[in-house]
A and B are shown apart, each in its own frame.
Chain A
Amino acid sequence: MHFDKSLIEELKKNNRKAQESFYRFFAPKMFGVCLRFSADSDEAEDIMQEGFIRVFRYIKDYRGDGSFEGWVRRTMVNTAINHYKRRIKRSFTKPIEHAGSAAGFNAHIIEQMSANELLKVIEELPAGYRTVFNLNIIEGYTHKEIGELLGISENTSKSQLSRARASLQKKLEKIRQKENIGNQ
Chain B
Amino acid sequence: METNSEHINNLFKQKFEDFAPQPPERVWAGIASALDKGVVPWYSTLPAKIVAIVIGAAILLGGYWLLPLQNTQPDKKPTMEAAYQNTTESNVAIDTKTDKTIQQQQRTQKQNENSYTATHKADQNRVVKHTASSGLISASGNNGTHHNEATAAKPKILSSQQPGNATISEQNLLASVSNTGEPFAGFSTIQAIPKKTVSLNNNLSFSILKPGKVENNKQFVTHKKQSGNWILGLYFSPEFIFDPFDSLTIQNSYAIKVEPTYYFNNHWFIRPGIGLSYARDKGFVKADFMSWDYLGSYEDVVDVTFDTVGNTVTPVYHTQTRDVYDSILHITISEETNRYLYLQTSLVFGYHNHVNKFGWSIYAGSQVNFILTEKRDNPLQDNQSAVYLKYNLANRHSPQYGLKIGFGLDYAIAKRWLLSVEPEYNYFINGINGGDVYNTPLSGIGLRFGLIYTLK
Q: Which A residues fall within an 8 A CB radius of B?
A: 14, 16, 19-20, 23-24, 27-29, 31-32, 35-36, 44-45, 48-49, 52-53, 56-57, 92-96, 98-99, 101-103, 105, 107, 110-111, 113-116, 118-119, 126, 128, 137-138, 151-153, 155-156, 158-160, 162-163
Query: 26 A-B contacts, Cβ less than 8 Å apart?
Result: A14-B35, A27-B27, A29-B20, A35-B21, A45-B30, A49-B30, A49-B31, A99-B292, A102-B8, A103-B320, A105-B4, A111-B11, A113-B15, A115-B15, A116-B21, A118-B15, A119-B16, A119-B19, A126-B385, A155-B294, A156-B292, A159-B292, A159-B293, A159-B294, A159-B383, A162-B325
Q: Is B327 an interface residue (CB 8 A)?
A: yes
**B residues less than 8 Å from A36 (CB atoms):** 16, 19
Give the docked Cα–Cα distance between A14 and B23 (Å).
22
**B residues less than 8 Å from A114 (CB atoms):** 15
Nearest CB on A from B302, distance (A): 9
Give the docked Cα–Cα distance between A19 and B320 (Å).
50
Q: Is B24 an interface residue (CB 8 A)?
A: yes
Q: Is B313 an interface residue (CB 8 A)?
A: no
Q: With A92-B378, A102-B5, A102-B8 in contact, is A155–B26 under 8 Å at CB? A: no
B387 touches A96 (CB 8 A): yes
B383 touches A110 (CB 8 A): no
A28 touches B21 (CB 8 A): yes
Q: Is B66 an interface residue (CB 8 A)?
A: no
Q: Is B182 an interface residue (CB 8 A)?
A: no
Give the docked Cα–Cα distance between A70 and B28 (Å).
21
Give the docked Cα–Cα distance between A34 and B4 (Å).
27
Q: Is B7 an interface residue (CB 8 A)?
A: yes
**A residues less than 8 Å from B378 (CB atoms):** 92
Give the docked Cα–Cα distance between A49 and B322 (Å).
41
Contacting residues of chain B (247-265) with chain A, CB-CB under 8 angstroms: none
B35 touches A53 (CB 8 A): yes
Give the docked Cα–Cα distance between A160 and B323 (Å).
13
Nearest CB on B from A146, distance (A): 13
* B6 closest partner in A (C-beta): A102
Contacting residues of chain B (1-41) with chain A, CB-CB under 8 angstroms: 4-5, 7-9, 11-13, 15-16, 18-24, 26-28, 30-32, 34-35, 39
B24 touches A56 (CB 8 A): no
Q: With A48-B27, A93-B386, A101-B322 in contact, is A56–B35 under 8 Å at CB? A: yes
Q: Is B455 an interface residue (CB 8 A)?
A: no
Q: With A32-B20, A94-B386 in contact, is A158–B35 under 8 Å at CB? A: no
A48 touches B23 (CB 8 A): yes
**A residues less than 8 Å from B270 (CB atoms):** none
Contacting residues of chain B (323-343) with chain A, CB-CB under 8 angstroms: 323, 325, 327
A107 touches B35 (CB 8 A): no
Q: Is B451 an interface residue (CB 8 A)?
A: no
Given contacts A48-B23, A92-B378, 13 further A-B contacts (CB under 8 A): A27-B27, A31-B20, A31-B22, A36-B19, A49-B34, A53-B35, A57-B39, A92-B380, A103-B4, A119-B19, A128-B385, A138-B13, A156-B382
Tell which of A44, A99, A152 has the most Cβ of chain B within 10 Å: A99
B383 touches A45 (CB 8 A): no
Nearest CB on A from B325, distance (A): 6
Give the docked Cα–Cα distance between A107 and B292 (Å).
25
Q: With A113-B15, A138-B16 in contact, is A155–B293 under 8 Å at CB? A: yes
Contacting residues of chain B (189-210) with chain A, CB-CB under 8 angstroms: none
Give the docked Cα–Cα distance between A111 and B9 (Å).
12
Q: With A19-B35, A96-B387, A105-B8 in contact, is A158–B23 under 8 Å at CB? A: no
**B residues less than 8 Å from A99 (CB atoms):** 292, 325, 327
Which of the residues B19, B294, B386 comes within 8 Å of A32, measured between beta carbons?
B19
Give the docked Cα–Cα distance between A79 and B316 (Å).
50
Give the docked Cα–Cα distance between A156 and B325 (Å).
10
**A residues less than 8 Å from B12 (CB atoms):** 110, 118, 137-138
**B residues less than 8 Å from A105 (CB atoms):** 4-5, 8
**B residues less than 8 Å from A45 (CB atoms):** 23-24, 26-27, 30
Q: Is B94 an interface residue (CB 8 A)?
A: no
Give the docked Cα–Cα distance between A156 and B291 (Å).
9
Nearest CB on B from A30, distance (A): 8
Give the docked Cα–Cα distance between A160 and B384 (Å).
10
